[in-house]
């Protein structure tokens, strides 16, 4: 791991986004909360938060961080779901990996919860859109 001990603690923020494409019938079931595994977006939000909190156990050289905030938002449209994660901490290193992990795991959770009815889903465009010291 990179040594960050000499760096000052600073408030930090990262925003990541991604997307999962789903079929129209799957989206209709999701909107009605009629999928076999239940409330997809609530479960995906919790999974994304959990992923952000445990990123250092997934990515070998990431520093474990005490996060001060994690939020996920979903926007359902005609072709799929846009996912956005905002992660905050006060520390010596940024939280971009935590934001990216949150989006990726939220998308994987949606995939898992919808796979019984949709075999053509595509996860993509996972990217960091903002990283800053605040």
Is 44 within a domain?
Answer: yes
pTM exceeds 0.85 for this model: yes
From the number of C-beta atoms within 10 Å of its C-beta (0-12, 13-18, 19+), residue 77 rates as: exposed
- Does 7 have pLDDT greater than 90? no
Query: What local confidence, expressed as pLDDT, does residue 13 receive?
Result: 98
pLDDT band at residue 52 under the 50/70/90 scheme: very high
Give the mean pLDDT of 24-41: 95
- Candidates 98, 44, 106, 101; CA nearest to 66 is 98
Is 88 within a domain?
Answer: yes
Q: Which residues participate in catalysis according to the annotation? A: 112
Question: 42 vs 86, 111, 121, 128, 129, CA distance in Å?
Answer: 16, 14, 19, 23, 23
- Does 48 have pLDDT greater than 90? yes
Is 4 within a domain?
Answer: no
User: What's the number of domains the chain is made of?
Assistant: 1
Question: 124 vs 28, 32, 43, 55, 67, CA distance in Å?
Answer: 21, 24, 20, 20, 26
Q: What is the CATH number of the domain that holds 59?
A: 3.30.70.640
Phi, psi of 4 (to 5 degrees): -120, 5
Is 5 within a domain?
Answer: no
Tell me, rounded to whole angstroms, the distance of Cα 27 from its chain centroid.
19
Q: How many beta carbons lie within 10 A of that of residue 81, not counting itself?
A: 23
Is 2 within a domain?
Answer: no
- C-alpha span between 79 and 120 (Å, rounded): 12
Q: Which domain range does residue 78 map to?
A: 10-133
The tens digit of pLDDT for each residue in 65-99 reads: 999 999 999 999 999 999 999 999 999 999 999 99
Query: What local confidence, expressed as pLDDT, does residue 47 receive?
Result: 98
Is 47 within a domain?
Answer: yes
């Amino acid at each position: 791991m990179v040594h960050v001990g000499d760096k000052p603690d600073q408030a930090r923020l990262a925003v990541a986004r991604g997307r999962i494409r789903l079929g129209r019938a799957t989206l209709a079931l999701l909107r009605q909360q009629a999928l076999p595994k239940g409330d997809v977006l609530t479960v995906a939000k919790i999974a994304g938060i959990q992923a952000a909190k445990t990123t250092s156990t997934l990515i070998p050289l990431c520093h474990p961080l005490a996060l001060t905030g994690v939020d996920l938002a979903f926007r359902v449209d005609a072709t799929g779901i846009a996912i956005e994660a905002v992660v905050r901490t006060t520390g010596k290193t940024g939280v971009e990996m935590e934001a990216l992990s949150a989006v990726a795991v939220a998308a994987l959770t949606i995939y898992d919860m919808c796979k019984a009815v949709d075999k053509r889903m595509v996860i993509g465009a996972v990217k960091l859109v903002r990283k800053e010291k605040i």
